A and B are shown apart, each in its own frame.
Chain A
Amino acid sequence: MKTNSKKLFAGGLGQLTIPLIAIALLVIFNLIRDPSFFSINLSQNNDGNIVLAGNLISIINGASELAILAMGMTLVTAACGGQDISVGAAAAIAGDVFIKVIKAGSVINAGIVILAFLSACLVAMIFGAFNGILVAVFRIQPMIATLILYTCGRSIAYWINGGATPNVKSSILSGIGSFIPGIPIPTPVLIVALMAIIFKLLFRFTSLELLTQSVGINESAAKLNGINTTFIKILSFVILGVCVCVAGIIGTSRLGLINHETLLLDVEMDAILAVAIGGNSLGGGKFKISGSIIGAYVIQMLTTTLYAMKVSSTDVKAYKAIVIILLVVIGSPVVKKKFDKLVRQRISLKKNDSKGAAQA
């Protein structure tokens, strides 16, 4: 344990150190408060499946949409040095398209669900490209550019199903939103894992990571090295579009209905926060998707902990803010630098000590 912590600090604070410490502290805090907080048990749910249940499961499950959005948000942040605040509204549009296509068929089968998913994806990608073009071609600040869709997105979602909030009863949808019979792990958790693997493969089999970071760090140099910076930026928004669609469909499938007003409401700020807690610079450049995913779980665990402590839902936001201030300040370059210096001094002191001992 001790050698581990030394390794963790020896190279200075790594990008993932702070989010990991935050998770560890939250876990320890909860264990002290309630030793059985993280107990997991098997139980039978309403559909008669044997499934895993417990606080830990509901935290990981509940953070799914956020984690997926944070992955895409990381890429946009890295390439454009700005954030997309329209993800919640765009997810509502994707959800409405999804339900609209499913409702159009007479029967609900796997084929029509896949078709609905692809249609929703296409629509979300088009809206992503719209944001991307505003940012990359017209050079509008990302937050302002995406403010447009943020403002009108839920109205567009409203028009798609004519203002109704249609519900769909289907085992396929509950399979997406909760459990697939025979598998005790919530499906959204599996989807997060799948998305993470897809990103991993994307960075493994394309040079997207290097190109995106180059554009984010020094756009002018990137251009002179032949990188199509416009394309990279639009692409980042289109990829975020896919994430938005997946998150929207998970959210819709959980309830089996689409409510354009409440689906993933206010999720955009949490997604941006997850990116920041993950140690990524909101000014763009170098990034780690894994950091943002951990950031998403930190946020969800914090929320769940507060609810478990019977903090009223109106107060939760204020408590959340306090913890977030701490995390962000500790992760700030100023504090990091001070800390690095302290650690280095300690190490060199220790080295001198051991040298002295050897000589004696």
Chain B
Amino acid sequence: MQTDPLLQMRHIVKIFPGVLALNGVDFTLRKGEIHALMGENGAGKSTLIKVLTGVYSSDGGEIKVDGQVISIKSPQDAQNHGISTVYQEITLCPNLTVAENMFIGREDSVWIKRKDYEKKADEILSNLGIPARSTQELGNCSLAVQQMVAIARAVDMKCKVLILDEPTSSLDDKEVNMLFDLMRDLKSKGVGIIFVTHFLEQVYEVSDRITVLRNGELVGEYTVEELPQVELVSKMIGKELGELSSMGEHEEAEENKKEVFYEAEGLSSSDALPFDFKIRKGEVNGFTGLLGSGRSESVRAIFGADKVTGGNVKINGKKVSITKPIEAMRNGIGYLAEDRKRDGIIADLSVRENIILALQVMNGILRPISRSEAESYADEYIKMLNIKTASRETPVGSLSGGNQQKVILARWLLTHPEYLILDEPTRGIDVGTKLEIQKLVLKLAEDGVSVTFISSEIEEMLRTCSRLVVMRDRHIVGELKGKDLNQTKVMQTIAGGESENEDKQ
């Protein structure tokens, strides 16, 4: 109460056809505060943000900035009231310079000379401690710096309220710290920051307050001190968290007895260097390593997603050739791709059509799945995976991220794969769905399905996998199992410690 509210949203209501997306939600942001907005996917975070930024118009409630009631009808309105947003995906132009990106499309910039705004940009950048030069092409900067340039642009547009929507999801630890320093700096300058993220640790690192939403309703507003992490999670998913710790008891001894399902020798593709790999029936293994370490490229090679350039592959001990996705699918392999939007969903098609797609492709063009069959498949999996959708005919693009991911999972489960590769299935989705997916993975393994699970969150992999393949610089540098499966050991291996020679037993 010691600082004035900068932004007040009162009883915000937003109705979508058939869904009450926001039901009388309150949100208060004070000057010089970092305020985390938390909730599962579908809780209403993005809807609230979009109401605030004028992308959606609200169906009720009022918004006050500095005590004045305002109406926001378009993103331009929001900007004029000092509300700026930096989205998860960088929305700048990579082929322009940093300075051009900072001033492009702003009314006052039409006649400013290039030199002038380069100088001005440099000033702002050095002021905020952003390691970039104004004349540099934006595409040559790291993602973190690009993110920061976007923030600098927002800040320079005299913003009072800065919304950061998942700003850290594609950054590594060092870059995250840089971003946090910038956020703290802005905070000390009196900017109110709304921070939307799925990374719980990060919330506690920078935020002052936390507002939790669930199912379109306000759960509460808390200071960071009064809400420990475990309680935050239980507030978000609305239940106690006994199940978190009980998952992932590894039974190593038994696993070695199971038969090998898939085995590759010297497999390589246009994007992956030759590597050896095998997985047993009912085993959950993981590929880990930093971004760019080659983990996704390796699993893509297994699925034949990139041009396969060499190697021997055996399935159930029999030699097979897998050079195209369809061949992998016919051999019982499914692959959930890393980039859900680009490689996963067919956005304009319905949930039903998205679910049956892979099975339909395997059936071939001449054996269509009948409408009634497709409907019963869709209903079955919507129920089984608890997919939240208005109906099975809803376009999948309009679902929340977590539910889109479930639809793609359903698509592969419907093909009854013997080996399922999940590349970052939990990225950018809420805690509740994450747990559901982890549980599903373990259940599949129990039923004898082999699973390869990739995640940027090592903790999550330790919970689900019984064996971790560690990669660095496009090479496999280690394989961890049993008592070696702990965070320290994984970190050491990734960083290149003593475990270098373990893979050559």
Contacts and interface: CB of A to CB of B under 8 A. Distances in A.
Q: Do A and B come from one complex?
A: yes
Interface of A: 204-208, 210-211, 213-214, 217-218, 220-228, 285-286, 344
Given A206-B365, A214-B357, A285-B348, A221 B325 contact: no
Nearest to A213: B349
B324 A226 contact: yes
B479 interface: no
Contacts of A214: 346, 349, 353, 357
B361 A227 contact: yes
A213 B346 contact: yes
A222 B357 CA distance: 9
A208 B363 CA distance: 12
Interface of B: 17, 303, 305, 324-326, 328-329, 335, 337, 342-349, 353, 356-358, 360-369, 411
5 contacts: A220-B343, A221-B337, A224-B335, A225-B325, A286-B348
B365 A226 contact: no
Ranked 4 nearest A-B pairs via Cβ = A226-B326, A207-B368, A226-B361, A226-B325
Given A206-B365, A213-B346, A285-B348, A223 B357 contact: no
Given A206-B366, A207-B368, A214-B357, A224 B337 contact: yes
A211 B365 contact: yes
Given A210-B353, A226-B325, 4 more contacts: A217-B346, A218-B345, A226-B329, A228-B326
A222 B328 CA distance: 15
B363 A207 contact: yes
B344 to A, nearest CB: 6
A221 B361 contact: no
A211 B349 CA distance: 11
A224 B366 contact: no
Q: SS class of chain A's interface: helix, strand, loop or mixed?
A: helix
B365 A207 contact: yes
B335 A217 contact: no
B357 A210 contact: yes
Contact of A218 (B347, B362, B363, B411): B347
A94 B193 CA distance: 67
Contacts of A221: 337, 342-346
Instruction: From A213, A217, A226, name the one whose CB has the most chain B CB atoms within 10 angstroms.
Output: A226
A214 B346 CA distance: 6
A210 B368 CA distance: 9
A224 B343 contact: yes
A224 B358 CA distance: 9
Contacts of A226: 324-326, 328-329, 358, 361-362
A261 to B, nearest CB: 39
B270 to A, nearest CB: 14
Contacts of B344: 221, 224
Nearest to A285: B348
A155 B124 CA distance: 64
A205 B368 contact: yes
Contact of B348 (A205, A211, A217, A228): A217
A206 B324 CA distance: 22
A33 B344 CA distance: 54
Instruction: From A205, A214, A285, name the one whose CB has the most chain B CB atoms within 10 angstroms.
Output: A214
A222 B329 CA distance: 13
A206 B363 CA distance: 10
A223 B329 CA distance: 12
Nearest to B363: A207
A213 B347 CA distance: 11
A222 B347 CA distance: 11
Contacts of A344: 17
B365 to A, nearest CB: 5
A48 B84 CA distance: 78
A225 B361 CA distance: 7
Nearest to A209: B368
Contacts of B367: 207
Contacts of A285: 348
Contacts of A207: 360, 363-365, 367-369
Contacts of B337: 221, 224
Nearest to A286: B348
A11 to B, nearest CB: 9
A221 B366 CA distance: 21
A286 B361 CA distance: 18
A217 B368 contact: no
A208 to B, nearest CB: 6
A213 B329 CA distance: 21
Nearest to A211: B365
Contact of B325 (A204, A213, A218, A224): A224
A95 B13 CA distance: 63
A224 B305 contact: yes
A285 B335 CA distance: 23
Nearest to A208: B365
A320 to B, nearest CB: 31
Nearest to B369: A207
A223 B323 CA distance: 12
Contacts of A205: 366, 368
Contacts of A217: 346-349
A211 B326 contact: no
A218 B345 CA distance: 8
B361 A220 contact: no
A206 B343 contact: no
A218 B344 CA distance: 9
Nearest to B327: A226
Contacts of B305: 223-224
A253 to B, nearest CB: 33
Contacts of A213: 346, 348-349, 353
A221 B345 CA distance: 7
A281 B411 CA distance: 26
B149 to A, nearest CB: 28
Contacts of B353: 210, 213-214
B338 to A, nearest CB: 10
A286 B395 CA distance: 11
A49 to B, nearest CB: 41
A36 B358 CA distance: 55
A226 B326 CA distance: 4
A338 to B, nearest CB: 13
Contact of A223 (B325, B363, B369): B325
Nearest to A212: B365
Contact of A222 (B346, B348, B364, B411): B346
Given A205-B368, A210-B353, A225 B347 contact: no
Contacts of B364: 207
A210 to B, nearest CB: 6
A344 B59 CA distance: 12
A208 B366 CA distance: 8
